[in-house]
């Protein structure tokens, strides 16, 4: 049995980590049975980050490596109907979300002081008072350092959000009026696209990114459609 180790559900989402939610979405799209184990401390994970899975004697960390493992091990290739060009394009869209839009989303939750209190409460509200006053600030400082090292954190807020909006607009433009990102049939990239779009649209945070995403009716409908089809439980 596949076991998915991830954070607890937060912000009315299966997971507030787009990468955890990506893996769980893929499992549902592929129709693979699995169980979930909630972890609060990702430092205990094999690579110090969530998600990771165990499957019998196998343990796989990193969302992309997990999807590759599941695809190969269980023969669940959600891209088999795509052309070579379409596969390349869907890969590029996935990288845009995971290596670009992710950092702006991270900034909006963990650095922008307008939305940090809601993030702090959602992730750390369950902690005892003494720990709740210390741990969130330490993790926030770690996030700031990561954003600065990656480069996004070196820009002004307006510049950062403008970059994020470009990614959202690109995603919405490419989706257009199609039911799924690559056409009439769902494919692997939809696991990533749904995870990232829902993480902007659903949480009760009116960040500039959330407002930009909700302004695209096709993205809102896309999230609602996949939730109804695969997360109705």
Task: Identify whether 131 is part of a domain.
Answer: yes
Q: Which of 45, 74, 103 marks a domain boundary?
A: 74
Task: Identify whether 53 is part of a domain.
Answer: yes
- The verdict on 42 and 157 lying in the same domain is no
- The verdict on 106 and 171 lying in the same domain is yes
Banded pLDDT at 23 (limits 50, 70, 90): very high
- The range of the structural domain enclosing residue 22 comes to 2-74
Which pLDDT tens digit goes with each residue over 136-184? 999 999 999 999 999 999 999 999 999 999 999 999 999 999 999 999 9
Which pLDDT tens digit goes with each residue over 70-100? 999 999 999 999 999 999 999 999 999 999 9
What are φ and ψ of residue 180, in 5° steps? -130, 165
Task: Identify whether 199 is part of a domain.
Answer: yes
Task: Identify whether 29 is part of a domain.
Answer: yes
Task: Identify whether 64 is part of a domain.
Answer: yes
Q: Tell me, what's the pLDDT at 176?
A: 98
- The verdict on 57 and 96 lying in the same domain is no
Lowest mean pLDDT among 106-115, 127-136, 220-229: 127-136
Task: Identify whether 197 is part of a domain.
Answer: yes
Q: Tell me, what's the pLDDT at 200?
A: 98
Task: Identify whether 79 is part of a domain.
Answer: no
Closest CA to 98 of 217, 31, 18: 18
Q: Where residue 110 sits, what CATH number does that domain have?
A: 1.20.1050.10
- The verdict on 11 and 110 lying in the same domain is no
Q: Give the pLDDT mean for 198-220.
A: 97
Q: Tell me, what's the pLDDT at 2?
A: 98
Q: Tell me, what's the pLDDT at 145?
A: 97
The whole model's pTM is what? 0.95
Two tokens at 139? 């993790």
- The verdict on 121 and 224 lying in the same domain is yes
Give the count of domains, the chain: 2
- The verdict on 116 and 173 lying in the same domain is yes
Q: Which of 74, 99, 130 marks a domain boundary?
A: 74
- The verdict on 166 and 116 lying in the same domain is yes
Q: Tell me, what's the pLDDT at 130?
A: 82
Q: Where residue 55 sits, what CATH number does that domain have?
A: 3.40.30.10
What ranges make up the beta strands (E) of the chain?
A: 2-6, 34-38, 52-55, 58-61
Q: Tell me, what's the pLDDT at 92?
A: 97
How far apart, in whole angstroms, are the C-alpha atoms of residue 71 and residue 75? 5
Q: Which of 52, 74, 96 marks a domain boundary?
A: 74
In contact, 123 and 16? CB cutoff 8 Å: yes
- Please say if the pLDDT value at position 233 is more than 80: no
Task: Identify whether 42 is part of a domain.
Answer: yes
Banded pLDDT at 125 (limits 50, 70, 90): confident
Could you identify the residue written with the tokens 């609602």? 224
The overall average pLDDT reported for the chain is 96
- Which range has highest mean pLDDT (44-48, 122-126, 186-190)? 186-190
Closest CA to 71 of 189, 183, 197, 178: 189
- The verdict on 218 and 156 lying in the same domain is yes
- The verdict on 68 and 90 lying in the same domain is no
Q: Give percent above pLDDT 90 in the chain.
A: 92
């Amino acid at each position: 049995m596949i076991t998915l180790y991830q954070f607890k559900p937060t912000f009315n989402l299966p997971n507030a980590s787009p990468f955890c939610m990506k893996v769980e979405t893929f499992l549902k799209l592929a129709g693979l049975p699995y169980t979930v184990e909630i972890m609060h401390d990702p430092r205990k994970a094999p690579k110090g980050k969530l998600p990771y899975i165990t499957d019998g004697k196998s343990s796989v960390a990193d969302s992309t490596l997990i999807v590759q493992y599941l695809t190969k091990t269980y023969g669940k290739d959600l891209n088999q109907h795509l052309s070579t060009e379409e596969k390349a394009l869907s890969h590029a869209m996935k990288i845009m979300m995971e290596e670009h839009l992710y950092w702006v989303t991270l900034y909006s939750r963990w650095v922008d002081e307008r939305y940090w209190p809601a993030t702090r409460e959602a992730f750390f509200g369950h902690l005892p008072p003494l720990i709740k006053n210390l741990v969130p600030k330490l993790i926030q400082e770690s996030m700031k350092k990561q954003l600065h090292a990656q480069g996004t954190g070196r820009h002004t807020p307006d510049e950062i959000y403008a970059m994020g909006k470009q990614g959202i607009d690109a995603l919405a433009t490419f989706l257009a009026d199609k039911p799924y990102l690559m056409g009439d049939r769902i494919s692997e990239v939809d696991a990533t696209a749904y995870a990232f779009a829902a993480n902007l649209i659903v949480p009760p945070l009116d960040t500039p990114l959330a407002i930009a995403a909700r302004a695209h009716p096709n993205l809102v409908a896309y999230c609602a459609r996949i939730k109804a089809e695969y997360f109705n439980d």
